[in-house]
Structure 1
Amino acid sequence: MKVLMFGWEFPPHISGGLGTACYGLTKGLAGLKNIDVLFVVPKMFGDEDQSIIKLKGANTVPVSKTQIEFEGTQKKMETIEIKSDIVPYLSEEDFWELKKKRFPAKTRFIQTDNGFKINFSGKYGDGLIEEIKNYALVAELIATENTFDVIHSHDWLTYPAGIAAKNKTGKPLIIHVHATEFDRSGGNINPVVYSIEREGMEMADKIIAVSNLTRNTIIEKYYIPPEKIEIVYNAVDSSPRKHNLNFRKNENEKIVTFLGRITMQKGPEYFVEAAYLVLKKMENVRFVMAGSGDKMTTMIKRVAELGIADKFHFTGFLKEDAVAEMFRLSDVCVMPSVSEPFGIVPLEAMQAGVPVIISNQSGVSEILDHAIKIDFWDTYAMADSIYGLLKYPSMSKHLKKAGKIEAGKMKWDNSAQQVSKIYRDVLIKSNVKV
């Protein structure tokens, strides 16, 4: 069985859990017999690990379209490579009039480089929607040029690409919902993003949700029939991580860590308030907020207002080796997410032998037994849990040992087996031999 899979990021160029989850799942699928995955991203940087996974960058695919800029006027003329009866020396007005006659009103014109390739950034900044549209255009070309049985699109950024591939080939489409706009925005949704998500869900032959929490959101907010949705929980990569063993902390000092994007969704403000409460009772503890995001400046200001800046540290975004080092130094890891479809960080922390505190508003709380669970808004319960783990070694020791065993059972191989079954069920329903 051949799978055409669309993602938006791939290690080491990731900004959060999406890239980590895609990498883990594709590695798991690669280990199964008779499954061949071609994983497509908008941009390949050249340093990705392709030893197990076939990777293709949309930025490497020629689309035979270009954009020309007139010197002097600085006005842009977009063209598409076709047989043309246009003669030299036409005025600009005549050209545009002729173009309107030659091409349908919905014809799209895009800018490429000299090799007719689109220069994707592969990031999440300005021009994201335009990149998503261009990605879908290239996805159609990739679908035409490759043989496959099923299409798998990860998160809303790639749904248009999956739809384009399905429309071109008629192959069944599976979309993987790692998060929804309701998780990211706290209910203040972007209608453009919502419409992309909903179209993807409606066009999909099957939907994979990363938790029951996410499944319920899809049903209640996007009005999708429950029977269309399957739950496949994420897992954790069991590969050992390298870290810098030369760094040491003070013997009697404790470190409590928040690791993730510093955004509304992740609840960083509740971590700060809990830190303030703990520091009123304990002195030999430091709090670390590892990550980056749009609320970072606000958090720095709040830490200063509370007078705990000497005990609170901001590291910025951490790469894989630095994450391993952070876990090695941590005594407690806290994930106070307001709305977390799943949450891989607690599994990574447990695997590293760090006891975790997670919010009840997270998908991972559905499957973890050896983690302390609190409501994200209950900063007193969060502070009490942190204090208890730091003050009572027996509690910490138990969660370290039991948590590590529990996380060790959550393998991507198991998730891949479930996804493989979904592929086969969809193909059987589509009357395709597998």
Structure 2
Amino acid sequence: MKKALASGGVIINKRSKEIFLLKKKNGNWVLPKGHVEEGENPEETAIREVKEETGLNVKIIDYIGKTHYFAPATEKHPEEEKTVIWFLMETEEEHIKVEEDTFLEGRFFNFREAYNFLTFDQEREILRRAYDLYLIRNKEKKLHILMLTWEYPPRIVGGLSRHVYDLSKHLAKQNIKVSVITCEAPDTPFEEHFDNLSIYRVPEKLIDSYNFISWIYLLNISMIVKAMEVNKKEPIDIIHSHDWLTTFSAYTLKHTLKKPLISTIHATEYGRNQGIYTDEQRFIHNVEWWLTYESWKVIVCSLNMKEEVKHLFSLPEDKIIVLPNGIDTENLRTTIDVEELRKIYAPNGEKIILFIGRMHPQKGAEYLLRSIPIVLQKFQNVKFIFVGTGPQLNSLIEESKYLGINERVIFTGFIDDNLRNALLNIADICVFPSIYEPFGIVALEAMALGKPVIASNLGGFAEIIEDGKDGILFEPRNVQNLAEKIIWALTNEDHIQIIKNNAIKKVKEKYLWEKIAEETKNLYFKVYTEYLKTDW
């Protein structure tokens, strides 16, 4: 069978935004196109064929894509295996003169009419891509983003929940339609709708599951069902999956809807555990690889995380996008009287040193706990508050008793955001001794409130903090070094004031959600434009 190359165009009237179609003598409605002649390039062919078939003068404004099909024999051409190269075209003309030997008429239609009139599915898809591309070029396209996350407020397990909450809220403010699908939470409606933002919660439990992995798999099935309902009401443009836990639904939706997938890797299983040691960890690690492989782009929060995922998942450099986490200072408000709260936690005017994080080895709370006896040798009028819960909580409480410091230490367990924010406000120093930290939003929150932050010199902390200028870094796992940094901060009030001021300034300049949401929005449009020009 002969192979043939043709080219054609989707013609849009510049004034009316209507699309031109031709009606062939056999009744088929088609887009204008024709064979590439010897010595022509596809662009020249498209312009010539449009002029011959429609009488319109057009200009090419972008490339769209290709279609492939088998064309039956005609009077002019034998049976062919044809490839058609398509271009987005614009015209200011309205006078039509169709090629009467082949066509009955030619007309301009609005998009919906043109889409429904077109006879062939492949040309409908080319029209859809072309029209979206045209809207983007004219800044008239409103993207619909599907966000998949296993946690969303009030369900808060880690930092991922707050990240998705803030990102989705600020994207909505920038005229991006966001639909979040997540797991249900107690005393929370299954659906919530705001301007440009919809939250859909799916049942936590379909049937009994025998472990966490099987529970996640069932949760993803519910997410897929809900996403298909959402897409039926308003077609989704991009799927954005957060961490490995929504990979199963993200993969299925990507290939069912044929829409681009973006993933954000907030942390890796390898990093959390400082290695892969069990079958479950290996499974999660493999799912993380799978998610990044399937993704058009992979977002990470720091340069350190970029190197980590590039190495762990063998990702090409240009596939990874660094977009830092951000904060919304409105989220740090509290209704609690902070002066009265200080009297409760530090009744004798003690300096308050605050830790906030999960009681998990990753967060390194034990290193702060073990530094306390050294600090108390120099300063007795200090209280240490540990906020959070997790598998290490009971052992840390017991260790504080063993160290003889339990009267200087308060373990709050889990607390709500109102009290958490109040404690951030009354803290004199905030310490984050993680042994693995892709970013560390809580450190940014402390900096935004003008609190001196002492953090491990690793991961995201090392990128956020300039040691001695807007924060203090110490050698990870080094209890003596941490104690020395705390003592220094307690004795150098003038320098600490400079650090506070610089920290506030840095957060305002680099880490507010308005800016990060805008960068994310720009990435969405870049990916969607690439997708429109790519044959699936």
Superposition TM-score tier, normalisation by shorter sequence: 0.7 to 0.9
Paired position in structure 1 for 2:491: 391
Deviations 1:20-76 (A, max 9, x none): 11111111211113x10001102144547754531001229xxxxxxxxxxxxxxxx
* Aligned equivalents of 1:119, 1:317: Cα separation in 2: 28
Paired position in structure 1 for 2:430: 333
Paired position in structure 2 for 1:241: 333
Partner letter of residue 481 of structure 2? A
Q: Where in structure 2 are the equivalents of 1:158-307 lying within 5 Å? A: 158-189=246-277, 190-239=281-330, 240-245=332-337, 246-247=340-341, 248=343, 249-250=346-347, 252-307=349-404
- DSSP 3-state at the match of 1:15: coil
- DSSP 3-state at the match of 1:430: helix
Which residue of 520, 528, 535 maps to 1:419? 520
Partner letter of residue 262 of structure 1? M
Mapped contact 2:431–2:454 kept (Cα < 8 A) = yes
Pair 7,401 (structure 1): closer, same or farther in 2 beyond 3 Å? same
- DSSP 3-state at the match of 2:289: helix
* Aligned equivalents of 1:359, 1:174: Cα separation in 2: 30
Gaps of 5+ in 1: 61-111, 113-117
How far is the alpha carbon of 1:16 from its aligned partner? 2.0
Which residue of 174, 183, 186 maps to 1:32? 174
How far is the alpha carbon of 1:119 from its aligned partner? 6.9
* Aligned equivalents of 2:325, 2:271: Cα separation in 1: 17
Which residue of 144, 150, 154 maps to 1:12? 154
Deviations 1:129-178 (A, max 9, x none): 12221232223323332111000001111122211111211111001011
Partner letter of residue 131 of structure 1? W
Gaps of 5+ in 2: 1-142
* Aligned equivalents of 1:250, 1:397: Cα separation in 2: 24
2:207 matched to 1:55? no
How far is the alpha carbon of 1:273 from its aligned partner? 1.5
- DSSP 3-state at the match of 1:175: strand
* Aligned equivalents of 1:137, 1:293: Cα separation in 2: 28
- DSSP 3-state at the match of 2:199: strand
Mapped contact 1:235–1:344 kept (Cα < 8 A) = yes
* Aligned equivalents of 2:348, 2:447: Cα separation in 1: 22
2:500 matched to 1:400? yes
How far is the alpha carbon of 1:11 from its aligned partner? 1.7
Normalized against structure 2, the TM-score is what?
A: 0.66
Mapped contact 1:144–1:168 kept (Cα < 8 A) = no
Paired position in structure 2 for 1:70: none
* Aligned equivalents of 1:407, 1:217: Cα separation in 2: 25
Mapped contact 1:136–1:164 kept (Cα < 8 A) = no
- After TM superposition, the structure 1 stretch with the greater mean CA deviation from structure 2, 46-55 or 20-29, is 46-55
Pair 368,28 (structure 1): closer, same or farther in 2 beyond 3 Å? farther
How far is the alpha carbon of 1:432 from its aligned partner? 5.7
Mapped contact 2:359–2:392 kept (Cα < 8 A) = yes
Paired position in structure 2 for 1:350: 447
Mapped contact 1:137–1:161 kept (Cα < 8 A) = yes
- DSSP 3-state at the match of 1:280: helix
Q: Where in structure 2 are the equivalents of 1:101-140 lying within 5 Å? A: 118=206, 127-140=211-224
Paired position in structure 2 for 1:86: none
* Aligned equivalents of 1:327, 1:338: Cα separation in 2: 22
Which residue of 242, 253, 269 maps to 1:154? 242
* Aligned equivalents of 1:199, 1:253: Cα separation in 2: 51
Mapped contact 2:262–2:298 kept (Cα < 8 A) = yes
Partner letter of residue 302 of structure 1? E
* Aligned equivalents of 2:507, 2:415: Cα separation in 1: 22
How far is the alpha carbon of 1:383 from its aligned partner? 0.9
How far is the alpha carbon of 1:353 from its aligned partner? 2.2
Mapped contact 1:59–1:119 kept (Cα < 8 A) = no
The alignment covers a number of residue pairs equal to: 372
Mapped contact 2:465–2:472 kept (Cα < 8 A) = no
Pair 44,316 (structure 1): closer, same or farther in 2 beyond 3 Å? closer
Determine what percentage of the aligned residue pairs are the same residue. 30
Paired position in structure 2 for 1:89: none
Which structure dedicates a bigger proportion of its chain to strand?
2
How far is the alpha carbon of 1:408 from its aligned partner? 2.6
Mapped contact 1:139–1:165 kept (Cα < 8 A) = no
- After TM superposition, the structure 1 stretch with the greater mean CA deviation from structure 2, 358-367 or 15-24, is 358-367
* Aligned equivalents of 1:400, 1:327: Cα separation in 2: 14
How far is the alpha carbon of 1:251 from its aligned partner? 5.6
Q: Which has the larger radius of gyration?
A: 2
- Computed over aligned residues only, the root mean square deviation of the Cα atoms, in angstroms, reads 2.1
- DSSP 3-state at the match of 2:324: coil
- DSSP 3-state at the match of 1:294: coil
- DSSP 3-state at the match of 2:179: strand
- DSSP 3-state at the match of 1:174: strand
* Aligned equivalents of 1:253, 1:388: Cα separation in 2: 16
2:522 matched to 1:430? no
* Aligned equivalents of 1:202, 1:161: Cα separation in 2: 15
* Aligned equivalents of 2:202, 2:254: Cα separation in 1: 17
Pair 37,186 (structure 1): closer, same or farther in 2 beyond 3 Å? same
Which has the bigger relative contact order, CA under 8 A and spacing at least 6?
A: 1
Partner letter of residue 244 of structure 1? I
Mapped contact 2:276–2:282 kept (Cα < 8 A) = no
Mapped contact 1:143–1:168 kept (Cα < 8 A) = no
* Aligned equivalents of 1:317, 1:182: Cα separation in 2: 26
